[in-house]
Amino acid sequence: MNTAMKKIIQLTILLFTVTSSLMANDYLPSITLKNIPAEKKFSLAIEGLSENANIILTDINGQVLLSQDTEGKSAFAKVFNLNELPSGDYFLTVRTSLRETVQPIALTKTEVLVNPDRKREFYSPVIRVEKEHVDVSLFNGRIANVTVKILDNSNEPVFEEKLENVLVVEKRYRLDKLPWGRYTIEVVTESNTFQKDFDVR
């Protein structure tokens, strides 16, 4: 077996392990969005929630038209009525701690059009800080660049690593060489920047 094939198999096993772990903890609920034919309405169903999710409807300019939480329920279902809105393009976003799902919606004079193929998903990293190290886990959603930085309390970088063309990030960064103080770990993806503060003592 050649080296390239071994790397692909290792990546597949790692991806399966990370994804299975997330799914086993119900951090990635299933989201179903359907239009109601001949009406300016659509239904949203979310199942498998283990945490609160935030539902946001915005227009093409990013103006928030509706914001609602699932209030800690394990399942959520609702029909949204867009009769009062003008025809145009809108976006429905469902946010949990590990994933943001964005579904474009086209509103015509008579109905709502939903194309699941246009849905986009953005994943958040899992950052675990221990006494002597910090672990970063991320399913990137697609192969792209990720940058990890550690910033001091003056927002100056004390460490930076650029990971090129990655699908999954599983990294451990040691903290025992850092002076005591307040730090921030920053994970930068193509779609977002995530930060977590921590202390070194």
Whose CA is closest to 191, among 141, 157, 150?
A: 141
* pLDDT value for 136: 94
What rounded mean pLDDT belongs to the chain? 86
Who's near 197: CB < 8 A, 6+ residues apart?
182, 183, 184
Give me the domains of the chain, ranges plus CATH numbers. 30-122 (2.60.40.3080), 124-200 (2.60.40.1930)
Output the CA angle 20-30-22, nearest 5 degrees: 20
> How would you class 156 by CB atoms within 10 Å of its CB: exposed for 0-12, middle for 13-18, buried for 19 or more?
exposed
How far is 27 from 30, CA to CA, in rounded Å? 10
DSSP assignment string, 22-73: HHHTT-S-EEEEEE-TTSSEEEEEEES-SS--EEEEEETT--EEEEEE-TT-
Q: Are strands 41-47 and 64-69 parallel, antiparallel or unpaired?
A: unpaired
Under the banding of pLDDT at 50, 70 and 90, the label for residue 27 is: low
* pLDDT value for 142: 85
Whose CA is closest to 79, among 89, 63, 68, 88?
A: 68
Amino acid at 173: Y
pLDDT in tens, 87-97: 999 999 999 88
pLDDT in tens, 39-75: 999 999 999 888 899 999 999 999 999 999 998 788 9
Give Dmax over CA atoms of the chain in angstroms: 64
Whole-prediction pTM value?
0.69
